[in-house]
Amino acid sequence: MREFRASDAGGKALALFTILMLLLLAINGLNVLNSYVGRDFMSAIEIRDMDGFTRFAIYYGVVFAGQTTAAVFFRFAEERLGLLWREWLTRRWVDMYLSNRMYYRLAGEGGVANPDQRIAEDVKAFTVTTLSFVLMVLNGTVTVLSFSGVLYSISPVLLLVAVLYAVMGTALTIVLGKPLVRLNYHQFDKEANFRSELIHVRERAEALAILGREGPMRERLMARIDDLVQNFRRIIGVNRNLSFFTTGYNYLIQIIPALFVAPMFIEGKVEFGVIGQSAMAFATLLGAFSLIVTQFQSISTYTAVIARLGMLAEGMDKVRGRKVPNLEIVPRHKTVEYDRVTLRTLDESVVLTADLSVTIQMGCRVLVGGDGREAKRALFGATAGLYESWDGRIVRPTPDGILFLPEQPFVPHGTLREFLLGRGGERRADEEAVAATLKALGIDGVVAEVGGLDVERVWDEVLSLGQQQLLAVGRLLLCRPKFAFLDRASTALETGELAKVVRLLAEHSITCIAIGGGEDEEGWYDAVLDLRRDGSWKWRPALQPSPRRASPANDHPTLF
């Protein structure tokens, strides 16, 4: 809250909260006034006072108009403040989620399921419900202060009964409804898991249809449905038991005041209108005392939301607090260096590569081959700053000096121009350069067929894997980094396309370091770094090297 108040939105939030407090006081003042107007209105009816009846009917109308206006603007201000808080908090969570690759590291190390749902839905529920509860408590406090005097003036015993009744009701509600907290927490995850499976079907629709795996997928989805339905049935059962108590609790509120005040009226101690006033005051005061009783289902859901956001925050802190390996990023650096790097499996039980020491200079092409598949993936991840189970020292350029192309290409939603040049056109390139790059890669016709560079599409549903990868290469060529690190590009590209990519990178003076796949040809590269399954490694010239040659220098080979 302190950070929210200090933010750019803090001033507007404070103004809205001040307006809410003023409206809250106005609403409670009008409620108290309404109780007295109602008392005199009913008493005028009792004594057949037509003038009094007309006068208090007019007062009733004025008070109702004031209450309606205040309540409408109170609701409006509450929603605006809730939206303002949600916007600020969501932006903050999204910023943390995308900073330092938290979204990637959280999935593997944070142990948090469905972070997307927690940010999108739980933040909304947290802000809206927190604000609602705060206002309820403040309103309840003002109501207690306002109507305690009214009820005490009618009957001190009735005031005491209201307090004891509320305490008893709150205690029993907590006992009966306590399981809802745990059940609602699990329900959020079960609903998210079911939705995730449906999204998986949509994203892998073609593969699913080709393989004809609808049967197993149906079984999996049905199991998810069974899981969430069973948990929800438990929630319904607890709500049923809780409703037996809360419904009876609320019905008794209507009769208790009459049991105390009606005898006083019969004995002539109070006017007839006091019966109605006592019922209103008793119900209003008990409502303020009984927030837990009346709002327990919302409170149980709210508690689950807080627990889920708390777990997300703990997961982020856990990931943020992990020891970062010695990855040194140097501006304007002209080499990629591995200094006594030892790669291990994530559980650190197996050494994948031991004491790797290699320096790769600009302008040359390197194939990372060998049968150590895990070692190759770990080297790619460690160089990119994603893999953390390693020792030693890696030195590489800043992100604008080295780009990484993962095996699975990523073309985000939006226009292709935004993907190739950046949303704000921060990478300056003229239309001719863009057109020439697309033509060189052989995808200019594909871009034209999908509507050009300025249409928005869900590209992974429109373009093939190879077309997406070629677009990613096009972005790389337009960015012109010093180094390009390719992870098994042969997965998405055909042999001829991959050869063309390696050649274009060389023509653009971009050093290519490629994790080898089955279709890679050593003749496209200058040197090969073999990573073997037993943890050893070997630096050697390519079998069919280009004119530029690689030569080792002692135990720390360098590519010239």
CB within 8 A of 427, min separation 6: which ones?
420, 421, 478, 479
**Residue 140 pLDDT > 80:** no
- Convert the pLDDT of each residue in 203-259 to its tens digit: 777 677 776 778 888 888 898 999 999 999 998 888 888 888 877 777 777 777 777
The arithmetic mean of pLDDT across residues 339-364, rounded, is: 90
| Three-state SS at 349 | coil
Residue type, 41: F
Phi/psi of residue 360, each to 5°?
-110, 120
Domain boundaries, given as residue ranges, for the chain: 2-320, 327-559
pTM of this prediction? 0.65
- Convert the pLDDT of each residue in 504-516 to its tens digit: 999 999 999 999 8
The arithmetic mean of pLDDT across residues 359-372, rounded, is: 90
**Residue 7 pLDDT > 90:** no
Query: Is residue 32 packed enough to be buried (19+ CB in 10 Å), middle (13-18) or exposed (0-12)?
Result: middle
Count CB neighbours of 188 within 10 A. Answer: 22
Count CB neighbours of 400 within 10 A. Answer: 13
| Closest by CA position to 262, among listed 253, 254, 252, 272 | 272
Contact 143, 294 (CB under 8 A): no
More confident: 319 or 529 = 529
- Convert the pLDDT of each residue in 277-307 to its tens digit: 777 777 777 777 666 776 777 777 888 888 8
Fold (CATH) for 327-559: Rossmann fold (3.40.50)
CATH 1.20.1560.10, applies to 2-320: yes
| Closest by CA position to 139, among listed 15, 24, 298, 291 | 24
| Closest by CA position to 513, among listed 392, 397, 346 | 397
Please, how many CA atoms are within 13 Å of residue 142, restricted to the half-sphere of its CB? Answer: 18
When the pLDDT of each residue in the chain is averaged and rounded to a whole number, the result is 82
> What is the token pair recorded at 338?
């591995």
